[in-house]
Structure 1
Amino acid sequence: MSPVRFWDLLTEAERAELVGSGHSRRFHRGERVFSEAEDDGSTAVIASGKCRVVAHGEDGVGTYLALRGEGDIIGEMAAIRGGPRSATVTVVSPLVMAHVFAKATFHRLLAARPALTAHLLVVMIERLREADQCQADLAVASTELRFNRLLLRLARAEGVHTRDGVEIAGVTQLDLAGWCGISRESVGRHVRRLQSNGVLAAGRSRGRLVVRDLEALRHGTLLTPS
């Protein structure tokens, strides 16, 4: 999740106006808040819960962009620039509550309160910095390092602590391959390697990984790229 959250930048008056201008919606795990290619232009601020943001290329391969949570704004790019959305936002927590704003309402708010535009700019600059850093990491990393870093990112952002370890749900090997730019065969090899080292729990079920040793995984992200 972004370290700079839109809601945290707002004054109490700005928060009150936002809540009064939008409508509250509830989304359940697996439900899409926004989908790529749709053109409604609405925007939302997450009040509680977590959402995964993934973009797909023309070949259908997905790229993991971010996890957004409480206080984060989503859908703002489509609202500002117009046209189809460039990413899909899916709920990964049991429930997400969000304040949703129609495109015209959001534009009216930005025009009436210039400070909101300034807050939005701060968030967008931080997100560009995040994206640039992720791209730089992928450019110089071996497949092993890419996989370790993605897994650590997912564990920290989406992981649920259980008695078996940190569980990452709703992720397939095909997802992992696309998100870190490696083959599905490489993903399988890296999963087996981490299982043999005790970092991942053995006997992985479809769409579920359990990180047993988060510190060892973190150490694996510090390996010298090859």
Structure 2
Amino acid sequence: MTAIPPLLPRHTPPDAAAKDFRGNKLFRHMTSNEIEALSPSVEMLRYGKGEMIVQRHDQDGGIYLLLDGALLANQYAKSGREVGYRRIAPGGYFGEIAAIDGQPRSANIVAIEDVRIARVPQTLARRLFETSPNFMRALLEDMAGLTRSLTDRLFELTAVSVACRVDIELLRMATAAGGDGVTAVINPCPTHAELAALLGSQREPVTRELNRLAGLNIVRQTGRTLQVLDVPALTAEIERIGGEV
């Protein structure tokens, strides 16, 4: 993915997505009245695939809630190599770190599909920090979860093979997609290049491992849909090649 300069966001009509932000997990411990009181201050935005929502070093301190689509948090080395930190799915959010410490953004956030976003301005976020224990409870829980996730990814990057990292990431996505515990459908599945950026690898080893799993009848990919045909077999394969589940 090539770095793209930030573009002006397209605002949705005031009532087009007015209720969607209320279901974001950031508000899960707040009462309906508390959430409703936020409505006049929350800004609704749209971005197209490939647009950059925020750029590393930006000073904006708002918190962004993803309503539809998918986002990638990434950074580019001077060589042009892309490093992906995490994908953000609907119901997720970003920007809380800059809202807390007032420092510039630490990563780019790029739309990898068309997206709708609700923006909580920095002034509102800081007021919630000071006045809403329920808001802060959710935020602290999520930051603890993110820290654990990034710790796991750092370990995987340094201790297991690319093939194993691909398998672990597929299992994460299959678990997030739900299902019956035996099969799962990941749609849309990240491209091989996007997976490589997330896993600290190149596209070719990712493609080789996906082809190997397909040959074992563990996965099947059709376009942007990836079916995990045998979740227990994928789990066993991770353990066989040196990973932990």
Structure 1 residues 36, 171: closer, same or farther in 2, change over 3 A?
Answer: farther
Q: Does 1:151 align with 2:170?
A: yes
Please give the TM-score of this superposition, normalised by the length of structure 1. Answer: 0.73
Distance across 1 between alignment mates of 2:189 and 2:61: 27
Give 1:211's aligned amino acid: Q
| Shift, 1:146, TM fit | 0.9
Higher mean C-alpha displacement, 191-200 vs 28-37: 28-37
Distance across 1 between alignment mates of 2:70 and 2:177: 9
Structure 1 residues 68, 81: closer, same or farther in 2, change over 3 A?
Answer: farther
| Shift, 1:31, TM fit | 4.8
Which one of the candidate residues 177, 201, 211 is aligned to 2:227?
211
Distance across 2 between alignment mates of 1:120 and 1:200: 35
Aligned-pair identity (%): 23
Q: In 2, are the aligned partners of 1:5 and 1:123 still within 8 Å (CA)?
A: no
Q: In 1, are the aligned partners of 2:220 and 2:229 still within 8 Å (CA)?
A: no
Aligned positions of 1:1-226 closer than 5 A: 5-27=25-47, 31-46=51-66, 48-58=67-77, 59=79, 60-70=81-91, 72-91=92-111, 95-96=115-116, 98-157=117-176, 166-169=185-188, 171-201=190-220, 208=224, 210-215=226-231, 216-225=233-242
Distance across 1 between alignment mates of 2:186 and 2:132: 42
Q: In 2, are the aligned partners of 1:155 and 1:168 still within 8 Å (CA)?
A: no
Distance across 2 between alignment mates of 1:168 and 1:82: 36
Q: In 2, are the aligned partners of 1:152 and 1:217 still within 8 Å (CA)?
A: yes
**CA shift digits 1:197-221 (9 cap, x unpaired):** 233337x76xx46235142334323
Q: Which runs of 5+ in 1 are unaligned?
A: none
Q: In 2, are the aligned partners of 1:62 and 1:175 still within 8 Å (CA)?
A: no
Distance across 1 between alignment mates of 2:29 and 2:113: 24
Please give the TM-score of this superposition, normalised by the length of structure 2. Answer: 0.69
Q: Which runs of 5+ in 2 are unaligned?
A: 1-23
Distance across 2 between alignment mates of 1:177 and 1:24: 32
Give 1:221's aligned amino acid: I
Q: In 2, are the aligned partners of 1:63 and 1:180 still within 8 Å (CA)?
A: yes
Q: In 1, are the aligned partners of 2:62 and 2:99 still within 8 Å (CA)?
A: yes
Structure 1 residues 99, 171: closer, same or farther in 2, change over 3 A?
Answer: closer
Distance across 2 between alignment mates of 1:134 and 1:167: 20
Q: In 2, are the aligned partners of 1:159 and 1:168 still within 8 Å (CA)?
A: no
Structure 1 residues 105, 133: closer, same or farther in 2, change over 3 A?
Answer: same
Structure 1 residues 193, 101: closer, same or farther in 2, change over 3 A?
Answer: same
Q: In 1, are the aligned partners of 2:59 and 2:104 still within 8 Å (CA)?
A: yes
Q: In 1, are the aligned partners of 2:83 and 2:200 still within 8 Å (CA)?
A: no
Give 1:217's aligned amino acid: L
